[in-house]
Each structure stands twice: as structure tokens, then as C-alpha cells.
């Protein structure tokens, strides 16, 4: 685990980036911007003590959105390898539930084709 600091409006990650870390917001606020959002207003806010960036780390996919510090922020990050090690040490049912939830969320967020 590692402490990281970000300035106001600094990008934490961008949609399409490789997901190498999951984050815990210690203080400040983070905005999540979906790819079709060209405004200064985030689609979602991450508040203190919330985790974000987990989807790409769980299923080793690219980031689906941009994350930006909406004010000065302190984060704790956990690298993918560290996360995988913790996951492998957990109960098999916990691992299965995490995998299923991640896949279901990805399916919900996929654009519908007609």
C-alpha cells in the first residue's frame, strides 16, 4: 500500500488506461467522469473512506472512466499484485462473489446494440 497526494483537478486515471491500482480516498473528493461527459461536473462523486478503481483491478480490464481530484486529495493505493495476493488468500466464495459482481456490472454498463 502506498499514500498518494493529488492536487485539485489533477487526473488520477483516464478511461482506457491499464488498471494497475485500486484506491481508497482518505480525504478530499474525487469525481468520476464517464467517457461521454465533456463538462466540468462529474457523473459520480467519491467521498472520503470510499474505494474506487476496483473494477479494472478485479477483472484486469482497461479503465472505463476518468477519475479527477475535485479538491486536494490524499489516497491510499493498492497495486494489482498486492490486491491479487489478498484475494487469493481469501475464502473461495468471496473470490467467486467478487468475480460474479464484477462481470454483472460490466454487462450492465456495456452499450446496447440493436
Residue 98 lies inside a defined structural domain of this protein? yes
Cα distance between residue 98 and residue 75, in whole Å: 23
Cell of 24: 481508497
Residue 53 lies inside a defined structural domain of this protein? yes
> Which stretch of 23-27, 38-42, 68-72, 87-91 has the lowest confidence by average pLDDT?
87-91
Which pLDDT belongs to residue 113? 54
Number of neighbouring beta carbons within 10 Å of residue 7 = 9
Number of neighbouring beta carbons within 10 Å of residue 10 = 12
Look up the domain containing 37 and give its range: 2-109
Looking at the predicted structure, is the pLDDT value of residue 34 above 80?
A: yes
pLDDT, one tens digit per residue, over 42-54 is 999 999 999 999 8
Residue 83 lies inside a defined structural domain of this protein? yes
- The pTM is what? 0.78
Amino acid at each position: 500500500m502506498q499514500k498518494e497526494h493529488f492536487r485539485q483537478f489533477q487526473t488520477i486515471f483516464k478511461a482506457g488506461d491499464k488498471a494497475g491500482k485500486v484506491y481508497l480516498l482518505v480525504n478530499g473528493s474525487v469525481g468520476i467522469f464517464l467517457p461521454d461527459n465533456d463538462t466540468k461536473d462529474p457523473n459520480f462523486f467519491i467521498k472520503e473512506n470510499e474505494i474506487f478503481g476496483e473494477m479494472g483491478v478485479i477483472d484486469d480490464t482497461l479503465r472505463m472512466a476518468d477519475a479527477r481530484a475535485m479538491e486536494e486529495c490524499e489516497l491510499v493505493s493498492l497495486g494489482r499484485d498486492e490486491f491479487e495476493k489478498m484475494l487469493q488468500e481469501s475464502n473461495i466464495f468471496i473470490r467467486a462473489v467478487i468475480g460474479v459482481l464484477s462481470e454483472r456490472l460490466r454487462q450492465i454498463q456495456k452499450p446496447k446494440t440493436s
